[in-house]
Amino acid sequence: MASKTVIVGSTVGLHARPAALVAQAAAEFDDDITLRLSDADADDAVDAGSSMMIMSLGAAAGDEIVVESDNAEAVEKLAALIEQNLDA
C-alpha cells in the first residue's frame, strides 16, 4: 500500500470547498483512497471520495494528513492537492 503524509495547505483546512475538490479528484480513480490525521489510528481513516467524510476529520491548516491507497498515482495526486491552498 502506498502512503504519504502531507501538511494541509488550505487556510480553512479541509472544509467544504477544499474537501469537495479532494473528493472530486479521488473520484477519478477506481481504487479505494483513504485519509486520516497523522496522529489517528488506521481505523479512523475516511473515504477520500466523500467530501462529508473528509470534513469529519476536522483537519485544520497545518495539520498532517496521511493519504493511503493501493494506487501510488492516486496517493501522489491527492497528496499534492491537499498541500495546496484550495480556498484561494
Question: What residues are annotated to the active site?
Answer: 15
Strands lying side by side in the sheet with 64-69: 2-7, 64-69, 33-37, 46-47
To 10 degrees, what angle do helices 16-26 and 72-83 make?
Answer: 160
Residue partners of 22: CB distance under 8 A and separation at least 6 = 14, 35, 48, 51, 54, 78, 81, 82, 86
